[in-house]
Amino acid sequence: MTGPTNPTYDAHADAYAASLRLSVAPMMDWTDEHCREFHRLLAPGARLYTEMVHAKAVIHGDRARLLAKTPHQSPLALQLGGSEPDALAQAARIAADHGFDEINLNCGCPSDRVQAGRFGACLMREPALVADCVAAMAAASEVPVTVKCRLGVDDDDDYGAFARFVDGAVAAGASMIVVHARNAWLNGLSPKENRDIPPLRYDWAHRLKRERPALPIVLNGGIASQALAFKQLAHVDGVMLGRAAYHDPYLLHTIDAALSGAAPRPRADLLRALRPYVEARMAEGVALKHIVRHVLGLFHGQPGGRLYRQVLSEGAHLPGADWAVVEQALTATEASAARHAA
Ligand SMILES: Cc1cc2nc3c(=O)[nH]c(=O)nc-3n(C[C@H](O)[C@H](O)[C@H](O)COP(=O)(O)O)c2cc1C
């Protein structure tokens, strides 16, 4: 028999496929709950990721803070760090109970602290352990388990080993793989250098997809324009943007709008849409500066963009700062842009 036999299932599959097209990478200190709220407004169709949280922090730590989110941040993945199957399974169950839509295992972070804990990128050299971790997480909850990985570590240059790593994770239950398409160098490079210096090899992710057409593959690393995002979408199921989405959040908006067919909204409208959230959180005691630090890039590359950043970042740090500071920044930016245009 050919063709769809279960329309409900197919609609679900289509919605899932659509939700993979664009995502915002997990970024420590950056993709906190406030940042994700802003990104959700900019990109209603994007899949969002938390910062990495260690499995043991989920189990023993302050869950209200570590797992904080709002319902409309969905689809939202919790990224877990760790390499102990039991702890990861327990954390996955807790994440599922908290309503996360995906649980992602970090196999790409190269920091010293992470290496000392034997997780992150060094797991690329332990495919059997990763498979055990994924199997334990998948058995512990109904929520899809995914893996974010590199191509290898240090001077690895073995597509076969990379593909076997992926196949092991998938056989253990991973339903999607995010490929940060470069190696992690565990000696001698800082995490920041590790995001730039090891060369990108998109062709490995393309080949993985060609050889495993049924496996959802999301490509990450260096995607910083709409043109590049769409070029890559011809080869893989989705693109994940990290730094570009953070530093130039309007790019996230324009890509999301292009994917959905919606007309892009003006920057100021998008920012003002955040006001109810900002005021609600401030009423709970959150300082303005903790939220608006994530919106400083909104006018990136625009006339008045530097002034916007300056007025907002300086004003948000003043005692008693409230939404009026955001309006001041917008007014200053509009005036500067008008002078520029005149
Ligand atoms: C500030 C910062 C923090 C990051 N934290 C994480 C993290 O917690 N987990 C993770 O898997 N990757 C982390 N990354 C890596 C990103 O998820 C992404 O893989 C990397 O930045 C490459 O994508 P890009 O070129 O689009 O930025 C971080 C990157 C940055 C810039």
What is the radius of gyration, based on Cα positions, of the chain?
A: 21
Residues 169 and 335: their CA atoms lie apart, in Å, by: 54
pLDDT digits (tens, 9 = 90+) for 21-55: 999 999 999 999 999 999 999 999 999 999 999 99
90 has binding-site annotation: no
Q: What angle do CA 29, 32, 34 make, to 5 degrees?
A: 130
Name the pLDDT band for 1 (thresholds 50, 70, 90).
Answer: very low
Residue type, 110: P
- The reply to whether domains 10-260 and 267-341 share a CATH topology is no
Q: Could you tell me if the CB of 222 is within 6 A of ligand 1?
A: yes
Q: Could you tell me if the CB of 30 is within 6 A of ligand 1?
A: yes
pLDDT digits (tens, 9 = 90+) for 119-160: 899 999 999 999 999 999 999 999 999 999 999 999 999 999
Q: Could you tell me if the CB of 32 is within 6 A of ligand 1?
A: no
Report domain extents, the chain: 10-260, 267-341
Taking phi first (over 0 means left), then psi (-120 to 50 degrees means alpha), and beta for anything else, what does residue 154 get?
Answer: left
Q: Indicate the fold that domain 10-260 takes in CATH.
A: TIM Barrel (3.20.20)
- Can the peptide bond before residue 127 be classed as cis, meaning omega within 30 degrees of 0? no
pLDDT digits (tens, 9 = 90+) for 207-263: 999 999 999 999 999 999 999 999 999 999 999 999 999 999 999 999 999 999 999
Contacts 24+ apart (CB under 8 A), 333-336: 333/299, 333/302, 333/304, 333/305, 333/307, 333/308, 334/268, 334/304, 335/304, 336/303, 336/304, 336/307
Residues 341 and 338: their CA atoms lie apart, in Å, by: 5
47 has binding-site annotation: no
Q: How many Å lie between the centroid of ligand 1 and the Cα of residue 27?
A: 5
Q: Find out if CATH 3.40.50.300 is the number for domain 267-341.
A: no
Q: Which residue is it, tokens 């420590």?
A: 28
Q: Which residue is it, tokens 């006001």?
A: 275
